[in-house]
Structure 1
Amino acid sequence: MYIKAKVNAGICGSIEHHKNVREFLKAIDKQFVTSNKALASTLIMKFTSLKLTGIRGVREHIMEMRDIVAQLKKLEVEMSESFLVHFILNTLPPQYVPFKISYNTHKDKWSINELMTMCVQEEGRLMMEQGESAMLVTPKKEKKGKENLKLVRKGSIKFLPNLTLRKTKIVSFIKRKDM
């Protein structure tokens, strides 16, 4: 059979000989059947472990969580929209605490689309409030005034051992022309 030449040898070796292509493909399918329960469990673990770590990317975060819920719904694991809104609010970082308080004090319940719209607006407000910042890494000086720049290897990560992080504001000066 021509199709056997195109299938990986590791897969063909574990399948009985079939004269019919249709039977051969069904035998391959039987080897790669996945359990819906295992897939649902994996999706639930991924859903519960998602957290937004920074201010940016709130729309993508909500869309990813909504996508996982849609996949779970296909597997007959359903969540109410109200639960999803509250769960998403709990995955937001501490910068969104005033936003969460605002949601909790209002009587109206938001849909996922309304939540996404409000979160994107809040993200824009937080970005304006935060301003621009830069991370500056400088090595600590040794006693003799020499910089210690040896790379230390731990596991598979290389890093400079005596570095300090400082967050600095970027200030721009605009030269005004006298009128």
Structure 2
Amino acid sequence: MEYDLKRKKWDISNRKCLMVAKSIISDAIRGSIPDCDTAIEYLKKVESQFTGSSKAYVNSLIKKLFNEKYSGGGIREHILKMSNTASKLKPMDLGLNDEFLIYLVFASLPKEYETFVVNYNMQPDK
């Protein structure tokens, strides 16, 4: 008898959790996740859905770093934007070392900044 009461409470709680989880998730994501009997199973499927998308996010960040070109404006903002993009890779254990980031920044600069690059390369303590 006691088990039946607890099971009924659990069923009600589980159903409410599923309704809340499904109502919060956008329609595009919800459509790609199969229905489950328990909220725990549903949340695990949601988690597995986003594991693949984090790889796509890493891929887009790396492409952005390698294809980034200086488009005018402040050089400082350009360097900070590239540094910010590189810092987003660190939590995913893909952080770039500073020297490599510097060379990526130099590669993104136009010819008019060539003296800046040459002066940096001539420094003995680089």
TM range (shorter): 0.5 to 0.7
- Cα gap change, 1:95/1:33 in structure 2, threshold over 3 Å: closer, same or farther? same
Kindly indicate whether the alpha-carbon contact (under 8 Å) linking 2:65 and 2:104 is maintained by their aligned counterparts in 1: no
| RMSD of aligned alpha carbons | 2.8
Q: Partner of 1:106 in structure 2?
A: 123
- Cα gap change, 1:72/1:58 in structure 2, threshold over 3 Å: closer, same or farther? same
- TM-score w.r.t. structure 2 length? 0.63
Runs of 4+ in 1 over 4 A off after TM superposition: 7-10
User: Is 1:52 the counterpart of 2:99 in the alignment?
Assistant: no
Of 85, 91, 110, 1:74 maps to 91
Kindly indicate whether the alpha-carbon contact (under 8 Å) linking 1:36 and 1:75 is maintained by their aligned counterparts in 2: no
Kindly indicate whether the alpha-carbon contact (under 8 Å) linking 1:62 and 1:88 is maintained by their aligned counterparts in 2: yes
Kindly indicate whether the alpha-carbon contact (under 8 Å) linking 1:15 and 1:28 is maintained by their aligned counterparts in 2: no
- Cα gap change, 1:27/1:106 in structure 2, threshold over 3 Å: closer, same or farther? closer
Of 37, 45, 65, 1:27 maps to 45
**Structure 1: which 5+ residue stretches go unaligned?**
110-179
Higher CA-based Rg: 1
Structure with the larger strand share: 1
Q: Partner of 1:16 in structure 2?
A: 35
* Shift, 1:5, TM fit: 6.5
Q: Partner of 1:88 in structure 2?
A: 105
Q: Percent identity?
A: 29
Q: Find the residue that maps to 2:71 and give its secondary structure.
A: coil
User: Is 1:62 the counterpart of 2:79 in the alignment?
Assistant: yes
The aligned length equals 107
Structure with the larger helix share: 2
